A and B are shown apart, each in its own frame.
Chain A
Amino acid sequence: MAPKSTSSKATTVSPSSNPVLALWKSYNEQTPDRLRFIDAFLVFLMLTGVIQFVYCVLVTNFPFNAFLAGFSSTVGQFVLTASLRSQVDPENKNEFKEVSPERAFADFAFGSIVLHFFVFNFLG
């Protein structure tokens, strides 16, 4: 994400007609396994959130606090995981000078515990 890595990466990508395909290809080539694992979790969270939202729109939002608790647990977990992802991304070393990957994981655990405390409190 840092600007200087952008230029070096961009040159290695072979120009393709479809930007989405190019993005997919480049992602597969360049992302370390750890980050891909996180990304799989992110996709799972996103799907869960979409299902909940569709259920809320199509069927009912009746226990509105339960919907909000469930939906914000997926959204909150998503952004916390995305934060973890950008913190442990080796390309972002310069930005997070004081946050080591271990520290980032501890932060992630702390944030998730707090989040889920409030989620369970709000489920009602």
Chain B
Amino acid sequence: MATAYTLPDISPTAVKNTASLVRIVALALISGAAIASRLFAVINFESIIHEFDPWFNYRATKVLASQGFYEFWNWFDPTAWYPLGRVVGGTVYPGLMATSGVIYNVLHKLNLPVDIRNICVLLAPGFSALTAWATYMFTKEMKDASAGLLAAAFIGITPGYISRSVAGSYDNEAIAIFLLMFTFFLWIKAVKLGSALYGSLAALFYFYMVAAWGGYAFITNMIPVHALTLMLMGRYSSRLYVAYCSWYAIGTLSSMQVPFVGFQPVRTSEHMGALGVFGLLQIVAFAQLARAHMSSKQFKDLLFYSVIGIGLIGAGGFVGLTYMGWIAPWTGRFYSLWDTGYAKKYIPIIASVSEHQPTAWPSFFMDLQLLIFLFPAGVILCFRELRDEHVFVIIYALVGSYFAGVMVRLMLTLTPCVCVSAAVAFSSLLDTYLDPAKPEVPVVEETAPATASKPAATATATGTSAIDDVVNAAKKSGKRGIFDLDTRLIIVFNAFCMLSFFVLHCTWVTSNAYSSPSVVLASQNQDGSQHIIDDFREAYYWLRQNTPETSVVMSWWDYGYQIAGMADRPTLVDNNTWNNTHIATVGKAMASTEEVAYPILRKHDVEYVLVIFGGLIGYSGDDINKFLWMVRISQGVWPDEIQEPNYFTPQGEYRVDDRASATMKNSLMYKMSYYRFAELFGGSKQAMDRVRNQRLPTVSPTLDYLDEAFTSENWIVRIYQVKKEDPLGRDLKSANAFTDGKKRKRSKPVSRRRAIM
């Protein structure tokens, strides 16, 4: 057999040993790269927790590390959701905290006294290395070890996954993607072997996943859809029965141990697919068994009367129970994935989160670069060799792409699948062009120039004869041609370049886009040096050190976790948005006039109100830009008192300058944000809001019921103290007017009203 190049003569065992050594070294290097590329934020700034949600996880982990597991399990947090409190043990996925707690205890047993904060910060990079390994194992089942190594390298550095797992991003996704991939690997292995051991292990890791992330519903539905598709394709086998039943029986029971999940696996629609497929599998298995014992005619009768009957009763049961309300319908969060307009119309709090918007094309390229082009090719290759596990990847690709298109944050679940199928495609390419074997050319083609000139071949000759000529010419010259070394080198070199660009792109995106802690804001000075804006911590630490420990802070829910974590003060609402009315109350207080808001503040014992204002330095994620969501959310609860159109100009514009509507100018949020802002510019017309790019009125709003308590250096965080009632029983507005020396108008009746308590 002809070869493009000759391989050196090495014994097969030597090749095998070297290959396994290379694999180990490669995996170690990939782990190193995965960890190292996530450390930009720690090296550039410092080792702190980023974002909002991780602050709660960190606080809970601190409780777990200092007080032990049982205290954490029964932890009632009286400082969150101030009057209500929060049962943390029953409203949290404890997997992440438990993982860090275990690591913390193990390290301390080994006399490595690492701070719990550093464990929390570095947990995600550590687990990304495990994700790379799990992806390697998964892809090895799809194709071979070399594709597995490619997939591991891809997922190690792809920005789509890094975005949720940089050092300091201590969120559930940090460990969830590893658990997702490992559960899928065990499931594939269980289906392949028909082993109850792997099924049970898949169930155990599924349990870990349930304890770690709310996205476990993805696994709960992916595995049944895979099983169902295999059955519909006529690929039912006893192996499938063994794998699915051992997974479902143990997995469902174990998932119910997590208090936050509770009885959901038997009572909600999200989990009914798994139960339905479980029932169907029993019927199919029994039918298969009966079939082995009967003639085909009898089997048909039996099938017709009993099996289909049972199936219909089962399906009818589901429908009936759902209508009767015993099985809860889809929750809003999941339902909005199907009906994409649903959240915006009915649940503004879901639509208000920026991660819940649809994904734009550029972000696919930004997060996945060349993988997004290789992804469809890999899926098609899976179709060509359609084994049971390839069906899984195909379904995963379809479902994952749909969800990633609907919601930005679900890009995360698509990324592993993209890496796997891109690795399959890429490694098939390399297999083809690195394999030295040349296909045997049929002898007929040797005479191709002759046949091409014949009239019989002229139909296709114009196109093909030229190629044939080239091929034959190359054949004669020996070392050049389609199957020869030069072509191969071009392709392989090209592939190598693509991979290099991928690495460059990933590093660039990671360092520039995804490695900034949102707690500190960085900006560049004129000379290129870095200027750090640290207003958040400045203000939170002011709260922590200068206020009584029991004083309640009201802010918009985005900052609830950070206030609880950094300032250590009770908050009214936080990022766990479980009580919509409570959030709407805060929204109403922010959106109404002082007179209306004051009783609300007093009723909730609020002592400090915190707003984020970016108008001075152009920080666009401030509360004025979020203000319309506050209005919308409170409008959903009090449609008579708060109306969104009132906050717009008559032309329907959202403005903060002279032309802003009266309701807008009188709202508490507007007054708190722009209080004394014009004076900052000397009362001239120069007061410019750098975010809205609008000139503000020369006279700043006045506050009667609040006192400015603290404003951070760049005016990002402004904290106001709620005044106590006037000792003389006047309302605070007239009391202030009196102090200012303004004469009370005669026509007005004397106001002796107190705020309603």
Nearest opposing residue in chain B for A105, CB measure: B196
| Distance between A40 CB and nearest chain B CB, rounded to angstroms | 15
Chain B 242-261 against A: per-residue CB contact (8 Å), 1 yes, 0 no?
10011011101110110000
Among B250, B285, B289, B291, which residue has its beta carbon within 8 angstroms of that of A76?
B250
Among B195, B241, B266, which residue has its beta carbon within 8 angstroms of that of A99?
B195
Q: Is the CB of B290 within 8 A of A1?
A: no
Q: Determine, out of B211-219, B294-302, B331-339, B593-601, the stretch whose residues face the partner at the interface.
A: B294-302
Q: Is the CB of A13 within 8 A of B238?
A: no
Docked complex Cα distance between A1 and B197 (Å): 21
Docked complex Cα distance between A18 and B305 (Å): 13
Q: Determine, out of B28-36, B199-207, B402-410, B558-566, the stretch whose residues face the partner at the interface.
A: B199-207
Docked complex Cα distance between A115 and B249 (Å): 8
Q: Is the CB of B193 within 8 A of A9?
A: no
Among B195, B254, B292, which residue has its beta carbon within 8 angstroms of that of A118?
B254
Q: Is the CB of A76 within 8 A of B297?
A: no
Nearest opposing residue in chain B for A7, CB measure: B296
Among B238, B239, B245, B294, which residue has its beta carbon within 8 angstroms of that of A26?
B294
Q: Is the CB of B199 within 8 A of A111?
A: yes
Q: Is the CB of B245 within 8 A of A107?
A: no
Interface residues on B, range: 35 or more
Given that A87-B238, A95-B239 are contacting pairs, would A27 and B293 also be in contact in the complex, using a CB cutoff of 8 Å? yes
- B288: CB under 8 A from chain A? yes
Docked complex Cα distance between A22 and B302 (Å): 11
Q: Is the CB of B285 within 8 A of A13?
A: no
Nearest opposing residue in chain B for A1, CB measure: B288
- A58: CB under 8 A from chain B? no
| Distance between B752 CB and nearest chain A CB, rounded to angstroms | 57
Among B263, B291, B297, which residue has its beta carbon within 8 angstroms of that of A6?
B291
- B237: CB under 8 A from chain A? yes
| Distance between B36 CB and nearest chain A CB, rounded to angstroms | 37
Q: Which residues of A contact B249 (CB under 8 A)?
A: 72, 75-76, 79-80, 115
- A60: CB under 8 A from chain B? no
Docked complex Cα distance between A78 and B156 (Å): 41
Given that A9-B292, A19-B294, A68-B256 are contacting pairs, would A114 and B196 also be in contact in the complex, using a CB cutoff of 8 Å? no
| Distance between B301 CB and nearest chain A CB, rounded to angstroms | 5
Judged by DSSP, the binding face of A is helix
Q: Is the CB of B294 within 8 A of A13?
A: yes
Docked complex Cα distance between A5 and B297 (Å): 17
Given that A95-B237, A96-B239 are contacting pairs, would A82 and B302 also be in contact in the complex, using a CB cutoff of 8 Å? no
Q: Which residues of B contact A5 (CB under 8 A)?
A: 292
Chain B 179-208 against A: per-residue CB contact (8 Å), 1 yes, 0 no?
000000000000001111101100110000
Q: Is the CB of B253 within 8 A of A76?
A: yes
Docked complex Cα distance between A119 and B256 (Å): 10
| Distance between A109 CB and nearest chain B CB, rounded to angstroms | 10
Chain B 291-332 against A: per-residue CB contact (8 Å), 1 yes, 0 no?
111111111011000000000000000000000000000000
Chain A 15-58 against B: per-residue CB contact (8 Å), 1 yes, 0 no?
11001101100110010000000000000000000000000000
Docked complex Cα distance between A88 and B241 (Å): 14
Q: Which residues of A contact B194 (CB under 8 A)?
A: 87, 95-96, 99
Given that A80-B245, A118-B257 are contacting pairs, would A92 and B238 also be in contact in the complex, using a CB cutoff of 8 Å? yes
Q: Is the CB of B238 within 8 A of A95?
A: yes
The residue in A19, A30, A98, A121 that gathers the most chain B C-beta atoms within 10 A of its C-beta is: A19
Q: Is the CB of B237 within 8 A of A118?
A: no
Docked complex Cα distance between A70 and B167 (Å): 44
| Distance between B248 CB and nearest chain A CB, rounded to angstroms | 8
Docked complex Cα distance between A104 and B197 (Å): 8
Among B204, B239, B263, B294, which residue has its beta carbon within 8 angstroms of that of A68?
B263
Q: Which residues of B contact A22 (CB under 8 A)?
A: 293-295, 298
Given that A20-B302, A98-B195, A118-B254 are contacting pairs, would A86 and B294 also be in contact in the complex, using a CB cutoff of 8 Å? no
Q: Which residues of A contact B196 (CB under 8 A)?
A: 80, 83-84, 87, 104, 107-108, 110-111
| Distance between B165 CB and nearest chain A CB, rounded to angstroms | 30
Q: Which residues of B contact A122 (CB under 8 A)?
A: 253, 256-257
Given that A72-B253, A99-B193 are contacting pairs, would A83 and B302 also be in contact in the complex, using a CB cutoff of 8 Å? no
Residues 427-481 of B contacting A (Cβ, < 8 Å): none
| Distance between A69 CB and nearest chain B CB, rounded to angstroms | 8
Q: Which residues of A contact B294 (CB under 8 A)?
A: 10, 13, 19, 22-23, 26
Q: Is the CB of B302 within 8 A of A19?
A: yes
Q: Which residues of A contact B266 (CB under 8 A)?
A: 68
Docked complex Cα distance between A6 and B195 (Å): 23
Nearest 5 interchain pairs by C-beta: A76-B249, A79-B245, A107-B196, A26-B293, A19-B298
Known: A15-B298, A65-B263. 11 other contacts (CB 8 A): A10-B296, A13-B298, A16-B298, A19-B298, A19-B302, A22-B294, A68-B266, A79-B245, A95-B237, A104-B196, A111-B200
Binding site for A on B (CB under 8 A): 193-197, 199-200, 203-204, 237-239, 241-242, 245-246, 248-250, 252-254, 256-257, 263, 266, 282, 285, 288-299, 301-302
Query: What are 13 A-B pairs at a CB distance below 8 A?
Result: A1-B238, A19-B302, A68-B253, A72-B253, A76-B249, A86-B285, A95-B238, A96-B238, A107-B200, A108-B196, A111-B196, A114-B203, A122-B257
Binding site for B on A (CB under 8 A): 1, 5-6, 9-11, 13, 15-16, 19-20, 22-23, 26-27, 30, 64-65, 68-69, 72, 75-76, 79-80, 82-84, 86-87, 89, 91-92, 95-96, 98-99, 103-104, 106-108, 110-111, 114-115, 118-119, 121-122
